[in-house]
Each structure stands twice: as C-alpha cells, then as structure tokens.
Amino acid sequence: MNNLLWVLCLILLIGVAPVFAHPHVFVDSKIKVVFNERGLAGIHNRWVFDELYSTAMASSGDADGDGKISATENDWFYKTIMAPNQEKNYFNYVLLGSKFVKISRLDNFKASLQGSRLVLEFDAKFEIPVTADYTMFVVVVSDPTNYIQMTTDMENADVDAPDELDVDFFDDGLDGLVLFRSFVFAPQGLFLRFKKK
C-alpha cells in the first residue's frame, strides 16, 4: 500500500509540475546598458505587456479611467508590479564571474498606457567599476519562474558609454552558464566587456 501511495504521489507531481511552469503574463522588453566614466551605471528597461494583462491592470491602476497615468497612479503600478519583485532584482540579472550583482536601486520608474498596452520604463542601477583590464559580464532580463514570460530583444539591445571607455558587446545563448539553468525559459543574454581606453 505504501508503494502504491508513493507512485500515485509521483504521478500527481509530474502531472501538476507543468501547470506551474507555464507563463501567465507576457512581456516584450528592450534594454539599454548604461555606463558612465566610473564603469557600469545601470540598465534602462522598457517592458510592454500583453493586452489581456494590460487591460486588467489598467482597469485597477488607471483610477479615473482617462487612459493616462498620473503620479499617484504611477505609484500604484510601482507598488503592485515592481515592489514585489525587488528581491528578484526586478528580473534584471547581471552575472559577473560566478556571482550575480545585486541591484543598488531602481530609478525613473514610469508607467504609461500606449494604445491597449501597459508600458513600464525604469532604470535598474548597478555598479561595476572600470579598470585598465577588461571586465566581462552578462546581462539577462527574465523571470526565472516563467510566471512572466519575458522576451527580451537582445539582438537590438543598446549600449551607451562615454568616450573614455572601450566597450564591446554581443547577444548569445546561455547554454554554458550553469547559474542560469534554474530559469524555466531559456533567455538570451547580452555579453559585455569594458575597460579604460
């Protein structure tokens, strides 16, 4: 009887696991990696949500229903969507060597309604100092649980750096990076290296 119970539990777990792994929200995102004369300064994010989620959030967040997001409504979108994901680095993952870099803060958050889509823009602030030798790191924007399927256009990612820095970058898969194996959906990464000129 004990063995039968274990087999039934195993079948139940295998059958239920995919239900928790499929996305419920869809986001098209684009990033710009920003440097200053001291090194990496942050990542500018632009997230465009799917129409169904956008409609649901607008019906709650756009309190006066005018199709525009006021300062008070902007705070509501931040508290509802972004604040709960602070511990997840707001889904901005910067891998430096074998460690993820912790975000220092989130700045310039702005929610807007563009047509039928909710758009969030913000700056995820990171600090990696520049040196005379190349520093290499990888940027990934993704929800590792796949509750939100984030499709980040790394091929068209942008980089903004001052003339004092030498910066190279390219997009690629993450197959060889074991720290990303816990991500349900296989996101693309933006690989960067920078140094003083």
* Each residue's pLDDT tens digit, 132-141: 999 999 999 9
Average pLDDT value for the chain = 90
Write down the residue that tokens 């399927």 correspond to: 149
Q: Provide the token pair at 138.
A: 């990888």
Asked whether residue 4 carries a pLDDT value surpassing 70, the answer given is no
The pLDDT score that the predictor gives to residue 176 is 80
Pairing state of beta strands 25-36 and 158-160?
parallel
How many CA within 13 A on the CB side of residue 176? 4
pLDDT, average across residues 45-70 = 95
CA angle (53, 145, 90) in 5-degree steps:
70
> How buried is 22 (Cβ within 10 angstroms: 0-12 exposed, 13-18 middle, 19+ buried)?
exposed
Asked whether residue 18 carries a pLDDT value surpassing 80, the answer given is no
Rounded Cα distance between 31 and 152, Å, is 8
pLDDT, average across residues 39-52 = 98
pLDDT, average across residues 149-155 = 93
pLDDT, average across residues 90-109 = 97
The pLDDT score that the predictor gives to residue 102 is 97
- Where are the extended beta strands (E) located within the chain? 25-36, 39-49, 92-96, 99-101, 105-114, 117-129, 135-141, 148-152, 158-160, 165-172, 189-196
Q: Provide the token pair at 106.
A: 């989130």
Residue 85: strand, helix, or coil: helix
Asked whether residue 147 carries a pLDDT value surpassing 50, the answer given is yes
Q: Provide the token pair at 15.
A: 């059958």
- CB of 142 closer than 8 Å to CB of 185: yes
CA distances from 108 to 46, 78, 142 (A): 11, 11, 20
